Amino acid sequence: MTRFALTLEFDGTPFSGLQRQSNGPSVQQSIENALHRITGEQAALHSAGRTDAGVHALGMRSHVDLEKDIAPFRLMGALNAHLRPDPIAVTACEVVPDDWHARFSCTGRRYLYRIVNRRAPLALLRNRAWQVATPLDAKAMHRAAQVLVGRHDFTTFRSVNCQAADPVKTLDLLSVERVDEEVHIHAAARSFLHHQVRSMVGCLKLVGTGTWDELRLAAALAARDRSALGLNAPSQGLYFVEASYPDDLP
């Protein structure tokens, strides 16, 4: 049995999420089906994180255990061939130790949220960014975002369906920058609650429009109550950027 680590890029638009779902197609299902066609094995895909319907990935890390003797570059090529026409690409494949786990060995996760701040409709970025027509003050958003950095109880910013045992998380980074007509929000932590990034982005959007201020955001955090949330940003602007691992692991 060989453990292969995969790096995945995908457009989440046609999927109900990364993890296999009973109510629609998933990235996991597409990859496991492709693996079965290649190897004849019922292999299970394990990933560094879960993504909701419509969320994208630039560098999701996953692993799979296979009995078939196959070189990593051949497995990568075969997967990419069998995944067509699904918008999924395996951008890297390597053999890793048996105790390496895409989820449990992961020490950090990074996300990007893209807002297109203009009135004209989206053509190229449709389903790949959140369009906000009202002008946004990215500098005010960044200042307010620092309220959320650090170790906090993020109950206000978690989905009611979140299965995490503890709402306390340490947010290592939450930054906001304007890139021409886009506003980019970067978030990094060891792990996140369900909907945490989207909920934080939704409230920062309210700060950007002047509806909320820094004090209102701090009050929402302190409330530790989902009803204090101002807005949950839509899924299409969210990207899983990368997962990080200890230096001695790939």
Cis peptide before 85 (omega within 30 of 0): yes
Catalytic member of 52, 69, 86, 166: 52
**What Cα–Cα distance (Å) separates residue 16 from each residue in 55, 56, 106, 126?**
9, 11, 24, 17
Instruction: Find out whether 61 and 5 touch, Cβ atoms under 8 Å.
Output: yes
Nearest to 95 by CA among 71, 60, 68: 71
Q: Is 225 a catalytic residue?
A: no
Beta bridge partners of 199: none
State the catalytic residues.
52
